[in-house]
Structure 1
Amino acid sequence: MKIEINGVSYSYTESGQGQTVLLFHGFTGSKETWVNLIKNLEQNFHVIAIDLLGHGETDSPDSEVRYQMEHAAKDIHDLLEKKEIDSVHLLGYSMGGRLALYFALTYPSKIQSLILESCTAGLVTKDERLARIKQDDYLSLMILNEGIEAFVNYWENIPLFSTQKNLTSDSKEMIKQGRLNQSPIGLSNSLKGMGTGVQPSLWDELNQLNKPTLLVCGEFDEKFCLIMGKMNEKLKNSEIIKIPRAGHAIHVEQSEIFATIVSEFFLKREQEEISHDN
């Protein structure tokens, strides 16, 4: 399905009935990232999986500024308004997790609960941000100058995804094809506009978020487990779960366990709401 938001055609899938669960994929991902999870969630929820700016079948604007967090989050807000959805349970992975956190802090009335998978609240020091911007600029040029295939061959071999070597051949091929089908300008501008280096640091705002929040990391993804542990300390209403035998992409590496955890968390929030209303 397609919907026009602020001059951009967004692609999304929609299924199930009940309270709305909104899903944000990571960099080089798409709404197809969530196929297995959706099968689980749609039994109890109205599930929307969206292709974020520059990804999948959503438009890839030429201006990198258009990809900045404030604009991307405003698009999501306006999409929910257009579909007359008051609030959602929100799940975001990696890049999508950073956007989900930004969205939850910017539009708290739109959030019922939040799950963040393998993400950060941003970089703190100027030196860290400048180094990351330099790295992302290098990658964005690689995509444009060397082509999407050369970039994907590089990207799937970075240490962050080393645990995915253990996936089945079919799973690895599906992930690779999904990456190869991306728009070069979309990925390039996503790095420049929504990369970790250019996004605002949200660390000082974490204590303002009082929505029920679940932080999920994989035991082999030590860097992000450490980061999310620090986030958990700052958030008012959060818990953290470390998933055994998983790296960065838990929803792929331990899909059944992940689906159970996500479904149980959202169902519990729903039951708490019903109890509160009664």
Structure 2
Amino acid sequence: MKYVMNGVHYHVDTWGKGFPLLLLHGFTGNSEGWKEFVPFWEGHSMTIALDIIGHGKSGAPSDIGHYQIEKCAAVINSLLEEMGIWKIDVLGYSMGGRLALTFAVKYPEKVRTLILESASPGLRTEEERHERRMQDARLAARIRKEGIVDFINYWENIPLFQSQRNLPDQIRTRIRNQRMANSIGGLANSLNGMGTGSQPSWWEELGNLKMPVLLLTGELDQKFCRIAEEMSKALPNVQWKAVKNAGHAIHVEKPELFGTIVSGFLSQSGEINTKAVNIEE
């Protein structure tokens, strides 16, 4: 399905029945990456998989203002209202996790439960944010100059995704095809408009989030494990699961375990009330 918000079209896939679950993919991804979880979630959730602006089949406008993360959260709110949905579970991965957290901060009354896979609340200081904006600007310029193939070749080989080298060739090919389906302008504008350095820091807002939160990280992704550990100290209603033998993209590297963990969390229907840390096999 397609929806038009502020002159930009957004592609949305839905499947399953039950309480609505919004799925937000990572940078260079799209809604197609969630389809393998249909067997896990279709029995208890009506899943809503969005192509985030600049990605997949959604629009990639040239106006950078459309990509600001708070505006993206506002678009999600309007989209859900148009669909007649007033309360939702939200699952976001990496960039999509930052967007999911932004939505929860701005519209906490709309979120029943929040699941963040390898996500962060942003950078704490303006100095850190400025440095990251400069890095993202250089990377966006590279995309525009060298093209999508050069960028995807580079992106696939950054340290964050080293653990994916052991995946079967057919899975790596599928992921590459999803990445290649994006546009140069969409990816470049996403980096400049929705990058970690461009968004506000939500660290001080974590204590205000009362809904149950599940943090998922891969044990091999030490950076995001450290971030999750800090987040788990600030969130009042949280579980953190570090998955063994997995890196940044747990849903790609351990899909069956990921799908099972998410189903188990959602089945609790928001009744978690203790902090917990659990290492998953």
How would you bin the TM-score normalised by the shorter chain?
over 0.9
Paired position in structure 2 for 1:176: 176
Paired position in structure 1 for 2:277: none
Query: How far apart are residue 126 of structure 1 and its match?
Result: 2.3
Paired position in structure 2 for 1:66: 66
CA distance in 1, matches of 2:208, 2:249: 28
CA distance in 1, matches of 2:44, 2:236: 27
Paired position in structure 1 for 2:224: 224
Query: How far apart are residue 38 of structure 1 and its match?
Result: 2.7
Paired position in structure 1 for 2:99: 99
CA distance in 2, matches of 1:256, 1:173: 19
Paired position in structure 2 for 1:189: 189
CA distance in 1, matches of 2:39, 2:78: 26
Q: Is the 8 A contact 2:18 2:43 kept in 1?
A: no
Q: SS at 1:217's partner residue? A: strand
Paired position in structure 2 for 1:9: 9
Query: How far apart are residue 36 of structure 1 and its match?
Result: 1.4
Consecutive unaligned residues in structure 1, runs of 5 or more = 274-278
CA distance in 2, matches of 1:240, 1:93: 15
Point out 4+ residue stretches in structure 1 off by more than 3 angstroms: none
| Percent of residue pairs bearing the same amino acid type | 48
Q: Is the 8 A contact 2:28 2:187 kept in 1?
A: yes
Q: SS at 2:137's partner residue? A: helix
1:164 corresponds to 2:164: yes
Paired position in structure 2 for 1:207: 207
What value does the CA root-mean-square deviation take over the aligned residues?
1.1
1:241 corresponds to 2:241: yes
Query: How far apart are residue 71 of structure 1 and its match?
Result: 0.9
Paired position in structure 1 for 2:149: 149
TM-score relative to the length of structure 1: 0.96
CA distance in 1, matches of 2:260, 2:241: 13
CA distance in 2, matches of 1:30, 1:145: 23
CA distance in 1, matches of 2:130, 2:114: 29
Cα deviation code 1:87-115 (max 9, x no counterpart): 11100000000000010010011100000
Query: How far apart are residue 66 of structure 1 and its match?
Result: 1.1
- Amino acid aligned to 1:223: K
Query: How far apart are residue 263 of structure 1 and its match?
Result: 0.7
CA distance in 1, matches of 2:65, 2:158: 27
Consecutive unaligned residues in structure 2, runs of 5 or more = 273-281
Paired position in structure 2 for 1:276: none
